[in-house]
Chains A and B, each alone.
Chain A
């Protein structure tokens, strides 16, 4: 079984970490904030709803957007 070849273990683990970290950084920097901002914009358009965010919320940074607990 090629799964049990220990010679490939270190490189595979290293590349797993590299790929996951790469994906994670791109997600955190660009993908997730875009989706979140879209949600917020759509909700701010729905008028009359008490939980709707103010437009100033849209300018917040990505980290504070995630910790915002409403959505």
Chain B
């Protein structure tokens, strides 16, 4: 019984490729179709996309350098579209799998480390020692900062996967509960439906917010390759 709720996360082999990879390709295709637009006077959808572009451009310029803008924007679009498309019934959500999110976050943190070492050489290790702290505390501080630097990668990936997994489990459980209550007639059966509507709205918000948080934190981490602490 308990395992049935997890069946929605199962990776199965469809036509030649798995549902996971099919969903990723679908998200890329949908994103590219929706991002297409070069009207001088934008229509509604293009206005949304240009607002996103403008916002992320400002964000990346303020925190890191503009050379990271294409990557951060692509990351946001990719995760946001995967999350949103995963909300539809009978589709697979790629980002509930920890390997996808942890794979992305570890790649990013390793990339930041390599980029920082490339630019600042051994001075990059000053990230492990906060400025102005007494030297006597150094053995302790370096240890703590090392742990916090490594846990960046874990927290970045687990946050996304856990949020999405929890949301989709909540969907499955509440939908089953609501359907049971619907079939047994009564006035009260409006409540599970109302709760489902509310949860759907909440999950749509979570899908965008988590994608935004992921790309925002990526931007902040990428700033370490630009400015030395």
* Interface, chain B (partner A; CB < 8 A): 6-7, 9-11, 17-18, 20-21, 24-25, 27-28, 31-32, 35-40, 42, 49-50, 53-54, 57, 61, 66-67, 69-71, 73-75, 77-78, 94, 96-100, 103-104, 161, 165
Contacts and interface: CB of A to CB of B under 8 A. Distances in A.
A33 to B, nearest CB: 10
Interface of A: 1-5, 8-9, 11-13, 15-20, 22-24, 26-28, 31-32, 34-35, 37-39, 41-42, 66-67, 69, 71
A13 B102 CA distance: 9
A12 B28 contact: no
A71 B70 contact: no
A1 B6 contact: yes
Question: What 4 A-B pairs come out closest when comparing CB atoms?
Answer: A19-B24, A15-B21, A34-B38, A2-B9
A5 B13 CA distance: 14
B99 A13 contact: yes
B188 to A, nearest CB: 33
